[in-house]
Amino acid sequence: MPGTVNHTYGNQGAPRRPANQGPQWRPADQGAPQRPTARASSSGRRPTPRGGSSQPRTPWMKVGLIALVVVFCLYCVYCLGQSLFADRLFPNTTMGSTSLGMKTHAEANEELAKLSGNYTLTVSGAGEDVVFSSELLGVTATNQTVESLGLVGNAAAWPLELFASHAAPASAVVAYDAAVLEANVQGWVDAYNNMVPAGSPATLRYDQATSQFSVVNAVPSQQLSYDAVLAQVKAAVDNGATAVKLDDSCVMNSQVSGPSVEQLKKEAGQLNTSFGFNFTVALGSSALLPINRGCALDWVNVDADYNVTYSEERFQEWLGRLGDSLNTAGGTHTYTRADGKEVSVTGGTYGWQVDRDALYTAIRQGIDSNSTNTVALTCAVEGNGYQGPDGPDCGRYIDVDITEQHARLYDVGGAVLWETDVITGYDNGTYDTPTGFFVINAKESPSVLQSSSTYDGGDGTEPLTITYRHEVEYWMPFYGNFIGFHDAPWQTDGWGGDMYHDPYYGSGGCVNLPTEKAAELWDLVQVGLPVSVHY
């Protein structure tokens, strides 16, 4: 019929299946039954599948869903990061050399407090470690915080801040007084250098036993350079470091400059073959001053090739120094007392006075003849012994120590033969016991001591003059005939200590002794015995 569209299932032209018949099965060799093909609608659209009316999902829908999940996760991570850095510093946050990264604000501020008022610096690399406190470094508290220093980043922008640098100089917190720091570093370096070898260049050594020169190798210095140490300590403090290890640049010259060993060996060989003298100079009955080829180092010239030649000019200079060391009368006497106290006494009447011309003749003849004998010197003034440069220029002597208020009689070997506490002159500038090296001028027993003293009361009355007359059993003067040792039976309140500061007890300049000690000393001394009076 015209205008009519026939709708068929399967291929066109195929016979229809009877309405009442069931499905037709083909033989096995003809394959599986064909699924009926849906009829197309008159509009050209595909028929709606059974069971619902929604469209099937496309790949773009899946991508969108994944993107939505990713965005949600990123948002969650952002929120977590913002929460984390709301009270925590970013990883690249530093204060000088101190890392504050990932610390809470409270933890970081505790670190800043340590750097401020409680700062310490441990210095190692030079023996035992030494800790400089904030006081020694002159560090003062600045009370800075991470907030005031601008070390707190923007938590809302943490993805960007995470890789940014957040730093402040340590000087913002570790403020110090340079003068205090320098003075204390200098004190420590000086103390350290006093305990370690300073080093020395290669040099010659004279062996008294073999009368030969030999070479002593150079000794490396182990002392510290103050400037180098100070620079490294300041750099550490400037960076807020709590420890610094000094490097090798802080040690002074590892090898002290000087002549080479080869050069010194050549010089030693010439000295050993050029001079053969080895004699001793006698002062009175003491023969304690050796003159040997070791002295030649003071009066020979050594040229650029280390050739040794005699120098008359340097010999005269050396002889003058030798004469000055022997001429001690009225000069300074320096010695180490037997108990270790270093004593220096100037002035007095005791000492030696050597004739300069006689000294030159005796030593020059000994050198020219390669003498090995003892040479006696002619002296204008002689003492009672000579103990060498480290001892008194005397034999037995009395040592009066005003500071200790104690007197001792030493024998030539330093043994104490007699000692006692004493009372010396009242130290008001008028009655002080005079210091110097004297001798016992006389001995008298018994004796009468007389003196007069004038006292001004300062109240307008006439000054009062009092004459003293004391009878003593033992009188041994050493300063003229009016200052000396004597017994003082009127001193009944003790001896020594600070009594000489009191005008009631202090003497008029003499050395007061207990009566029994004065008797002992009387039996032990003789006129001419040296007396050293010093503080």
Question: How sure is the predictor about 458, in pLDDT bands with cuts at 50, 70 and 90?
Answer: low
Question: How sure is the predictor about 512, in pLDDT bands with cuts at 50, 70 and 90?
Answer: very high
Please give the DSSP secondary-structure letter assigned to residue 501: G
Helix (H), strand (E), coil (C) string for 14-49: CCCCCCCCCCCCCCHHHCCCCCCCCCCCCCCCCCCC
| Strand boundaries in 62-165, DSSP class E | 93-95, 98-99, 121-124, 130-132, 139-140
Map residue 110 onto helix, strand or coil.
helix
Question: How sure is the predictor about 11, in pLDDT bands with cuts at 50, 70 and 90?
Answer: very low
> Going edge to edge, which strands form the sheet with 121-124?
130-132, 121-124, 243-245
Q: Is the per-residue pLDDT at 45 higher than 70?
A: no
| Axis crossing angle, helix 312-326 with helix 356-368, rounded to the nearest 10 | 130
What is the arithmetic mean of pLDDT over 391-414?
Answer: 92
How far is 482 from 471, CA to CA, in rounded Å? 14
Question: How sure is the predictor about 341, in pLDDT bands with cuts at 50, 70 and 90?
Answer: very high
Give the pLDDT score at 326: 84
Give the pLDDT score at 55: 58
Give the pLDDT score at 459: 64
Please give the DSSP secondary-structure letter assigned to residue 518: H
| Axis crossing angle, helix 178-193 with helix 226-238, rounded to the nearest 10 | 140
Q: Is the per-residue pLDDT at 474 higher than 50?
A: yes
Q: Count of alpha carbons within 13 Å of 98, Cβ hemisphere only?
A: 31
How far is 208 from 473, CA to CA, in rounded Å? 52
> In this predicted model, which residue has the larger pLDDT, 111 or 23?
111
Q: Is the per-residue pLDDT at 387 higher than 60?
A: yes
Map residue 111 onto helix, strand or coil.
helix
How far is 316 from 311, CA to CA, in rounded Å? 9
How far is 213 from 344, CA to CA, in rounded Å? 33
Mean of all residue pLDDT scores within the chain: 82
Residues 227-263 pLDDT 10s = 999 999 998 888 878 899 998 888 876 556 777 888 8
> In this predicted model, which residue has the larger pLDDT, 457 or 375?
375
Q: Which of the residue ranges 58-67, 138-147, 337-346 would you say has the lowest mean pLDDT? A: 138-147
Q: Is the per-residue pLDDT at 452 higher than 80?
A: no
Q: Which of the residue ranges 169-183, 422-436, 438-452, 466-480 would you say has the lowest mean pLDDT? A: 169-183
Residue with tokens 């003067």: 477
pTM score, whole prediction: 0.49
> In this predicted model, which residue has the larger pLDDT, 21 or 440?
440
Share of the chain above pLDDT 90, in %: 29
End-to-end CA distance of the chain: 157
Residues 164-191 pLDDT 10s = 888 777 767 777 888 999 999 999 999 9
How far is 242 from 119, CA to CA, in rounded Å? 7
Give the pLDDT score at 399: 97
